[in-house]
């Protein structure tokens, strides 16, 4: 039997972002732990315009090719890890936009959050997005990752990691695996 697909969603899209480096590191560690096929979903590459569909997404009556492609991408995910920065104590606009585009594609699927930022580790942004994820009917993991002072863990164009981060990545992987198998068994 093939592994379920865990999509790592990169929620920062700006030039010179650190988000992709953080996501690449987390994706590698998640792959090391096994049990999932890891797929990177980078919102900078997806490049959705601001929501421009005329119908409510729960109807699935998508008119634009970019929405149909986004729907197909998210539909093949069995679980998600959102790697997100904190902007002004909340989530990034591209992330909210990407979530709003779809509805049933998200519903009932496990999700965890990896936030990063300054001293708070992006935890205010993680708390804010949780309400959105619950509203979409997702199964939100109570275990997640928070990376404070993210800029101090970068070298040579990479996120370098540290033991506590590795520990929380492992715990989050275990939680997502349990939620995913619980869902498939139910
Ligand atoms: C518009 C903006 C708002 C920010 N607001 C916060 C904030 O509220 N809390 C925080 O810890 N860091 C904040 N930062 C600093 C970010 O944590 C830091 O720039 C980080 O690198 C952003 O992630 P990114 O490079 O992947 O976009 C902010 C950065 C930007 C660009």
For 125-154, write each residue's pLDDT tens digit. 999 999 999 999 999 999 999 999 999 999
pTM of the model: 0.97
CB count in 10 Å sphere of residue 148: 17
Q: Whose CA is nearest to atom 22 of ligand 1?
A: 85
Structure confidence at residue 1 (pLDDT): 74
CA of 2 to the centre of ligand 1 (A): 38
In this model, does residue 62 exceed pLDDT 90? yes
Atom of ligand 1 nearest to the CA of 90: 8
In this model, does residue 186 exceed pLDDT 70? no
Q: Span 169-186, mean pLDDT?
A: 91
**Percent of the chain at pLDDT exceeding 90:** 97
Kindly give the pairing relationship between strand 154-155 and strand 37-42. Answer: unpaired
**How high does pLDDT run on average in the chain?**
97
In this model, does residue 42 exceed pLDDT 70? yes
Q: Whose CA is nearest to atom 31 of ligand 1?
A: 87
Structure confidence at residue 123 (pLDDT): 98
Q: Whose CA is nearest to atom 17 of ligand 1?
A: 117
Q: Span 17-21, mean pLDDT?
A: 98
d(C-alpha 115, C-alpha 85), whole Å: 6
Which three-class secondary structure state does DSSP give residue 3? coil
Task: Return the sign of the alpha-carbon dihedral for residues 97, 102, 103, 104.
Answer: negative
First and final C-alpha spacing in the chain: 18
Task: Return the sign of the alpha-carbon dihedral for residues 81, 83, 87, 92.
Answer: negative
Structure confidence at residue 3 (pLDDT): 96
- Domains of the chain from N-terminus onward: 5-185 (3.40.50.360)
CA of 12 to the centre of ligand 1 (A): 10
């Amino acid at each position: 039997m093939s592994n379920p697909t865990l999509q790592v969603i990169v929620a920062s899209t700006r030039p010179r972002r650190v988000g992709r480096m953080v996501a690449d590191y987390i994706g590698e560690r998640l792959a090391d732990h096994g049990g999932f096929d890891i797929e990177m979903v980078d919102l900078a590459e997806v490049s959705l315009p601001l929501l421009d569909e005329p119908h409510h997404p729960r109807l699935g009556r998508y008119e634009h090719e970019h929405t149909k492609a986004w729907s197909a991408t998210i539909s093949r995910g069995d679980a998600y890890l959102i790697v997100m920065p904190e902007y002004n104590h909340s989530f990034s606009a591209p992330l909210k936009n990407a979530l709003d585009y779809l509805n049933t594609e998200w519903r009932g699927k496990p999700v965890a959050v990896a936030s990063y930022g300054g001293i708070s580790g992006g935890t205010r942004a993680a708390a804010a997005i949780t309400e959105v994820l619950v509203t979409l009917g997702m199964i939100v993991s109570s275990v997640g990752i928070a990376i404070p002072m993210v800029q101090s863990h970068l070298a040579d164009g990479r996120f370098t990691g540290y033991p506590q981060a590795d520990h929380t990545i492992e715990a989050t992987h275990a939680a997502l695996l349990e939620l995913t198998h619980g869902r498939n068994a139910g």
